[in-house]
Structure 1
Amino acid sequence: MSNNSVSNYLTIDRDGHILLIGLNRPDKRNAMNEAMLQELAAAYRQLHDDAELRVGVVYAHGDHFSAGLDLADIAPKLAAGSLDTVAGGLDPWGVQTEQTAKPVVLALQGYAYTLAIELALASDVVVAAESTQFAQLEVARGIMPFGGATLRFSRLGWGNAMQHILTGDTFDAREAHRIGLVQQVAADGEQLATAIEVAAQIARNAPLAVQASLASARAALTDYEGARAQLAPTAAGLAATKDAARAAESYLRGEPIPFEGN
């Protein structure tokens, strides 16, 4: 593993084809101010643009993933219409810009409030420590979710979404797993290792096929017929790539998948 950079509020490390993005404001329970949001957007841009990177893992230093917004910094800018959370990066929540083309695996622990839930909804696989606490509590603060909860949460079921968005209640990892917000519940302290294991499994597969599958699944959420129409031509294009040829040769020879180190 190599350390790529340390910013004010994040750590960035590379582990082969995996980009590890660590929220690093533990003294504030990783509450997100404008600068931290901009740094996270820059990290997602790096994941998106770097051809050597195949998957991202987002986790947090300290006891909590994130207590949500740092309202002391965010609220005045939000009210003034001057909030800039992207600053040339790629919006991790996929609201202001396109999403990264690479899969993102999330590892949660402690508090996973407001924007943390919305980041989970925008991610592709979510692992939560057993004691993680969730709350979509913007309405209790006089604002509304603006990181995508109103757009995506209802995909998990209208009643599930409205119960948590409109009440601002706190719920646990088992409930998050039951409604589909979380894909795996890990023992406390094991959430990052589990997330990296999932990411490594993704990274061992053909990167073009992974990205095409992710793009097709996302497209189907908003344009099912358009996504359906693209299945055959996209599959044909992938079948003509060197990746597919290498995989077929390896299969016929009974050899391991050829993508792990390339």
Structure 2
Amino acid sequence: MLYTAEQVTQLPSEGFRYLMVSLDDHVLTITLNRPEKKNALNPPMLAELAFALAYAHFTTDVWLVVLAAAGDTFCAGMDLKSLSSGDQEVMTVPEPSGPVRLGELLVELHKPCIARVQGPVYAGGFLLVGGSTYVVAAESATFSLPEVKRGLFPFQVLALLLDIMPARTALDLCLRARTLMATEAYSIGLVTSVVPASELDEALGRLIDELKQFSPTAMQAGLSAYQQLKREASEEQQAFLYDQFVQLQQTPDAREGMAAFLEKRKPKWGGE
């Protein structure tokens, strides 16, 4: 994490410059709000995103995160102009402790994240989509990696795509810069559901309601273990997972879940 728990005890009192953030009934919605630049990510916006995701990670009351976007484009990737010329804007959040690498932000979240994709996704925007746990996309949304057209290559995106789809499929997306329709993105696993644009919020709401029925502590433990598992030697993985299960059994949510099962009632999750 690029921010400590102490730094993110609350969101900026005057709000963010490039994000809209709201917390409602355990769901933190982070909306990219630079529509005039197609939500291209400049350094101040990246810092705000890192801060908001750290807040989500450390705040017990946050069970789920929704990533959304204002305007007609979900995200045009990195703002190459601001990256090449430097950005002198005064930031709305403290300076992060290191470089903001977008591919790492969602990996460290350890909470279910749903991307609400209403429009095109380009380049580095794939890191937000591919790093999310679920991606609910409008039928009209498109997905493209145009870096090779500019003499660049989507290195971080490739690493992320290799977790989602076969290597040849991931490489083809990076090498040919094709534009995928939402249904094609669904067929290769980049998107988890596709709906008409008019039904996007309804589909998002259904998924949120379903996830909120389950223990946030259990889901967070599972997502954390999933990331840690990648770093464990194969012969040590089962021992690691057994230890994780033993630890999870001691949590208030686990005790509540078992009690609710035995008493044949709906559990009341505390998220701890």
Shorter-chain TM-score bucket reads 0.7 to 0.9
Could you say which residue in structure 2 is the equivalent of 1:229? 239
Unaligned runs of 5+ in 2: 1-11, 88-94
Equivalent residues in 2 for 1:1-262, closer than 5 Å: 6-77=15-86, 87-88=96-97, 93-95=102-104, 99-146=108-155, 148-155=156-163, 156-223=165-232, 225=234, 226-259=236-269
By how many angstroms is 1:163 displaced?
1.0
Q: What is the one-letter code of the residue matched to 1:253?
A: E
By how many angstroms is 1:196 displaced?
4.1
Q: Contact 1:139 / 1:168 at 8 angstroms: preserved in 2?
A: yes
Q: Contact 1:130 / 1:186 at 8 angstroms: preserved in 2?
A: yes
Unaligned runs of 5+ in 1: 79-85
Q: What is the one-letter code of the residue matched to 2:256?
A: R
Provide the aligned C-alpha RMSD in A: 2.7
By how many angstroms is 1:125 displaced?
1.1
Q: Contact 2:136 / 2:193 at 8 angstroms: preserved in 1?
A: yes
**Aligned partners of 2:16 and 2:70: how far apart in 1?**
13
**Aligned partners of 1:212 and 1:89: how far apart in 2?**
26
Query: CA distance change for structure 1 residues 127 and 4 in 2, over 3 Å: closer, same or farther?
Result: farther
- Give the TM-score of the pair, scaled to structure 1: 0.86
Cα deviation per residue 1:114-143 (whole Å; 9 max; x = unaligned)?
111121121111111111110011121222
Q: Contact 2:253 / 2:270 at 8 angstroms: preserved in 1?
A: no
Cα deviation per residue 1:50-91 (whole Å; 9 max; x = unaligned)?
11111110001111101222221123459xxxxxxx824895
By how many angstroms is 1:224 displaced?
5.8
Query: CA distance change for structure 1 residues 183 and 192 in 2, over 3 Å: closer, same or farther?
Result: same
Q: What is the one-letter code of the residue matched to 1:242?
A: P
Q: Contact 2:106 / 2:131 at 8 angstroms: preserved in 1?
A: no
- Give the TM-score of the pair, scaled to structure 2: 0.83
By how many angstroms is 1:221 displaced?
3.6
Q: Contact 1:19 / 1:55 at 8 angstroms: preserved in 2?
A: yes
Q: Contact 1:92 / 1:99 at 8 angstroms: preserved in 2?
A: no
Q: What is the one-letter code of the residue matched to 2:253?
A: D
By how many angstroms is 1:210 displaced?
0.9
**Aligned partners of 1:4 and 1:205: how far apart in 2?**
32
Q: Contact 1:56 / 1:199 at 8 angstroms: preserved in 2?
A: no
**Aligned partners of 1:201 and 1:5: how far apart in 2?**
33
Query: CA distance change for structure 1 residues 50 and 92 in 2, over 3 Å: closer, same or farther?
Result: farther
**Aligned partners of 1:261 and 1:209: how far apart in 2?**
9
Cα deviation per residue 1:135-194 (whole Å; 9 max; x = unaligned)?
011121222225x21212123111111111011111111111000011111211433442
Quote the sequence identity (%).
Answer: 31
**Aligned partners of 1:227 and 1:120: how far apart in 2?**
28
Query: CA distance change for structure 1 residues 123 and 219 in 2, over 3 Å: closer, same or farther?
Result: same
Q: Contact 2:63 / 2:271 at 8 angstroms: preserved in 1?
A: no
